[in-house]
Every structure is written in C-alpha cells, then in structure tokens.
Amino acid sequence: MVLGCAEFCVRLTLTSHDPEGPLSRIVLKAILGFVMRVLYRPKVEGMERIPATGPVILAGNHVTFIDSLFLSLVVKRPVYFIGKDEYVTGKGVKGRLMAWFFTSAGMIPVDRDGGHGGVAALMTGRRILEEGSVFGIYPEGTRSPDGRLYRGRTGIARLTLMTGAPVVPFAMIGTDKVQPGGKGRPHIAPVTVRFGEPLDFSRYDGMDRDRYVLRAVTDEVMSDVMELSGQEYVDIYATKARAA
C-alpha cells in the first residue's frame, strides 16, 4: 500500500515535466549559463564520459547549496534532482518565482519529511531513469558539515540495480568557496566539475534487495567520488556527524 500511494504521487508529479526540458529550463540555463561563464569560468573535466542518450545517474559530493545549480548548468543534457517540496509551495510573488526557478533548474519536489518520504524519493528517481533521463543524486544524503566526504546511503545502489542505469561519479571542487556554509551572498571563486568513468553494476542484476551488495555498490561509487574530489573520507553518515 505504501509503494502504491508513493508511486501514484510520483506519477502525478512527473506528468508535468518534459524529459527533453521545457522552454523555461532552456531560458534559465541560457541566462544563468552566461552569467556563470563570465563570473566563474568553471572548468569541466570528463564531460565526454556522460552518455549522450539513455538513463544515467550522476552521483557526487555535496558541499554547498548551489552544487545542483552548477551541475545543471555545465551538463548538456537536462539533469533532474529531488528537492524539498517547501521550495515550490511558497505564497505570493516570491513563492511563485522560487517555484519557477527550482522546477526550471530540474528539481522534482518531494515531501521527504513524511513517513513515506524515502520511498517517494526512490520512486521518483526510478521513474526519471525509466524515462531515459539524467538523475542527479548526492549519496551522502545531505551537505557535508565540514568539507569532508561522508559515507554514502544505499539509495543510489537500489536505483542503479533496479533500472540498469550506469553511474557516472562526479566531484564539485570549489563551490564551497563560492558559497561558504551554504548561506549568504555568493563569492567569486574558481570552480571545477570533474566527471569519472561510468560504472556498470550489471554483475549484480537481480540483487537489489541484498544489503551487502547494496553497501558494496555504494562504497564503490563513493570511492570514485573521493578520488575525483580529493576529499578526506569519513566512514560515518553526515547526518550523524552534523548532530554530534
């Protein structure tokens, strides 16, 4: 029953987005892309490793709020993310502008605070991939509290094993200097977005319920992210470190 309700909500959410990207996304990307190139001149490495067609999961580190914005702007294909529904439920002119901005940037709103939030997020990612689109995910589950790389959650492993989509690891380098602490007015600082070789986990086909396999897949992805980013790795969840 839980899966049925979550899948129904996801279907309603995703009927409003075009896998190739709506006009609003094209406009937003053109404007912000120009500003970004002028101000930040981001360096992009390994872009050719992202498949030109078909489903793909982009999995990387998360150091500040604007990581998703930089990723969406440098990747040629539309990238979709999971985001809190509170970003698109605001009232008045400001609320409508925020809703337009986040949805145009590729955010799919999901209530992640509810009891079924994790299931809804997983089903949303699965639906995006089954449509042949690009899904961006941060396996740590939240922003790093101190700039180090933390243990990945196994949702990414479930997604790649359920859909067969390859995983392209990536690293955001320097975005924490653009927006320290994830708050305040952005600063001008060099940014590098680095993509690794696609990871194929077809050898684990049909094993998406094996917790040891899920952990092994997740750890392999995080190992590649660590090599790409150069971050120190901490084998605990970021949420636990933040609470401590």
Give the pLDDT of residue 106: 78
Phi then psi dihedrals of residue 80, to 5 deg: -110, 145
- Residue type present at position 12: L
Give the pLDDT of residue 4: 40
Task: Confirm if 193 and 159 have CB atoms less than 8 A apart.
Answer: no
Closest CA to 75 of 137, 136, 132, 125: 136
Give the pLDDT of residue 30: 80
Give the pLDDT of residue 193: 97
Give the pLDDT of residue 162: 96
Task: Confirm if 205 and 160 have CB atoms less than 8 A apart.
Answer: no
Give the pLDDT of residue 2: 35
Q: How distant is the alpha carbon of residue 91 from its chain centre?
A: 26
Write out the H or E segment, with its range, that includes residue 228.
helix 211-229
Task: Confirm if 16 and 108 have CB atoms less than 8 A apart.
Answer: no
Give the pLDDT of residue 40: 85
The three-state secondary structure class of 163 is helix
Separation CA 156–CA 57 (nearest Å): 8
- Number of alpha carbons in the 13 Å side-chain half-sphere of residue 35: 10
Quote the CATH superfamily of domain 41-81+132-243. Glycerol-3-phosphate (1)-acyltransferase (3.40.1130.10)
Separation CA 165–CA 161 (nearest Å): 8
Which residue ranges of the chain lie beneath pLDDT 70?
1-23, 87-88, 112-117, 181-184
Global confidence as pTM = 0.84
Give the pLDDT of residue 18: 46
Q: How distant is the alpha carbon of residue 82 from its chain centre?
A: 7
Which DSSP letter does residue 42 get?
A: -
Give the pLDDT of residue 5: 36
Locate the domains of the chain by residue range: 41-81+132-243
Q: Which residues pair with 136 in a beta bridge?
A: 58
Separation CA 218–CA 155 (nearest Å): 8
Give the pLDDT of residue 8: 32
Give the pLDDT of residue 185: 73
